Structure 1
C-alpha cells in the first residue's frame, strides 16, 4: 500500500500496512488484556492525578493516532484545536519524529498525550530482545530531548506482543495499549468508509485506532467527532480514560 509521505522509508511503509486487521487476534494470544474501567477501579497511592473528565460518570472515548507526526498532522491539529478534542499520539521515530520535530512540541503545547510506537515499526515479536529495547529506548530519548516528557505508554506495531516484549516494556516504564476499534485506514482513501467503520465500532471506554499519515483519515475526523459528540461521548486521552488509575508498565490494555 503506497504512502503519501515521500520521505518515509520503504520498510516502515510495508510493516505499517501489513495485516493490521489480524492484530487484535494475534496480540491477545499469549497475554491477557485489561480494560480502562478496570484500571479506574485501581487508583494508585501517590500517583499524580490527571485533570480531566470523570469517566466513571461520563461516556468517555479515546481517539489515538499511530505513526505520527506526518505531513497531515498540521491539518489534524487544527481540527482538534477547533473541536477542543484531546487525543493520544503514538509517535514513530524514523521519518516522523526526526522529520517533524516541531509538530511533536506542538502536540504537547495543545494538550495532547504522547506515547511510544517504536523507532522503525518492526514486529517486536520477531526481533531480538536487544533490538526491542533499542526501538523503544531510542523513541523515548528523542521525545524526552524534544519535549522533556518521559512517555509512559507504548503501542506495539500491528498490536503484536508477547511476554518478552511485556517484560522489556515493564523495565522501561511503558504500559502497552492496544485498541477496541480500528478503521483499517491503511486499506482505503475513502473518508466516509473510515468514518463509518469507526462509528460502527465505537463504544463507551473505547480506544479508537487511526493513522493521520493516510490520505483518507484526517478528512474523516470532523465527521467522527461530530457524530460521537452527538451521541454524548466525551473525548479524553488514553491516560485520562484510565484515571484515577494508572496503567502498569508491561501490562496490556484494550
Structure 2
C-alpha cells in the first residue's frame, strides 16, 4: 500500500512530532513529489534542466530525467567535505550520478575549499548544513542567521553559486527557523531514508539500511565524514540501479518545481 505522502498534492499540512529527532515542534511540510506535481499542474514542463539543477554537469540524462515518469530517489550527503570526499566523488563520477551535498562550514568548507570547488565543478548540488552544526531550534535568531548565512557566503565566494537548500542539524526546525530561512533565501530539506551511519562503520549494514528504506521519490541521507559510509556507496548504487531507480539530486527530484525559501520539504 502506498504511503499517504506518495499520493498527496503539493502540501500535506501535517503536524510533525519528529520521531527522527525527538523534537516536538510542529510545522507544515511539502513533499518533493507534491511540489513537482503542483508545478506540472501549473503548466511547467518536466523536460529540460531544472531551475535549481547543478551547473557544470556533462550528464544529460541526470539533468533531463523526468521523475514523474522515472523511478527517482535523491541521494544526499551531510557534514562534509572531508578526507573521504575525493573517493566518493570518484565513485559518483564512475556511476554517472550526481548528489546533493549539505556542507558544514567550520572544519569542513573552511578546511577543504578545493573540495567545495570540485563538488561544484563536477556538477553536484551545493547545499547548506550550517556553519557549526548548532541546533537551530535551541539558538537565538542572530545565531540562526549566522549559522546559515556564513555557509551561504563561503560557498558563493568559492564557487560563485549560492545554495538554495539547507538541512537543519538533526532535522530540527520550527516556524521561527522557517521564517529566518525564508529571509535568507533557503528552503529546508529533510529525508526519508537514514542509515544512521553515525552509529556504525559497518558498510554492509549501512547498505542494508538504505536499501530497506528506499522508496520512489525518497531522499537518502548519508554522511561523507564517516569511515564506513563511502565504501558502502558503490553497492548501494548498483542495487538501486538493479531495482530500477534513477539516482538524482534534490533539485532534479522536484523539477520542474523550484524549492521555495522557508518551506520544509520532506518525502
Instruction: Give the alignment's TM-score, normalised by structure 1.
Output: 0.88
SS of the equivalent of 1:208 reads strand
CA distance 1:27–1:40, shift in 2 (3 Å): farther
**Is it true that 1:179 corresponds to 2:164 in the alignment?**
no
Task: State the distance in 2 between where 1:31 and 1:67 align.
Answer: 24
Alignment of 1:32-111 (within 5 A): 32-43=28-39, 48=51, 50=53, 51-111=63-123
**Is it true that 1:234 corresponds to 2:228 in the alignment?**
no
Task: Find the partner of 1:170 among 154, 157, 182.
Answer: 182
Is the 1:183–1:195 contact (alpha carbons within 8 Å) kept by the matching residues of 2? yes
CA distance 1:251–1:27, shift in 2 (3 Å): farther
Partner of 1:151: 163
CA distance 1:25–1:92, shift in 2 (3 Å): closer
After superposition, the C-alpha distances for 1:104-137 in whole angstroms (9 at most, x for unaligned) are 1111111100000000001000110110000100
Matched positions, count: 233
Is the 2:193–2:221 contact (alpha carbons within 8 Å) kept by the matching residues of 1? yes
Task: State the distance in 1 between where 2:23 and 2:36 align.
Answer: 23
After superposition, the C-alpha distances for 1:168-223 in whole angstroms (9 at most, x for unaligned) are 00001100000001000000010000000000000000100000100100000001
Partner of 2:202: 190
Is the 1:23–1:160 contact (alpha carbons within 8 Å) kept by the matching residues of 2? no
Is the 1:37–1:242 contact (alpha carbons within 8 Å) kept by the matching residues of 2? yes
For residue 36 of structure 1, report the CA deviation from its aligned partner. 1.1
Is the 1:27–1:162 contact (alpha carbons within 8 Å) kept by the matching residues of 2? no
For residue 247 of structure 1, report the CA deviation from its aligned partner. 1.4
**Larger relative contact order, structure 1 or 2 (CA cutoff 8 Å, min sep 6):** 1
Instruction: Give the alignment's TM-score, normalised by structure 2.
Output: 0.84
Is the 1:23–1:159 contact (alpha carbons within 8 Å) kept by the matching residues of 2? no
Partner of 1:133: 145
SS of the equivalent of 2:144 reads helix
For residue 48 of structure 1, report the CA deviation from its aligned partner. 3.4
Partner of 1:221: 233
Task: State the distance in 2 between where 1:27 and 1:233 align.
Answer: 32
Task: Find the partner of 2:212 among 181, 193, 200.
Answer: 200
Is the 2:51–2:255 contact (alpha carbons within 8 Å) kept by the matching residues of 1? no
SS of the equivalent of 1:64 reads strand
After superposition, the C-alpha distances for 1:3-57 in whole angstroms (9 at most, x for unaligned) are xxxxxxxxxxxxxxxxxxx763546741121111111023278993754210000
**Structure 2, unpaired ranges of 5+:** 1-17, 45-49, 54-62
SS of the equivalent of 2:64 reads coil
SS of the equivalent of 2:253 reads helix
Partner of 2:221: 209
For residue 150 of structure 1, report the CA deviation from its aligned partner. 1.0
Task: State the distance in 2 between where 1:168 and 1:91 align.
Answer: 19
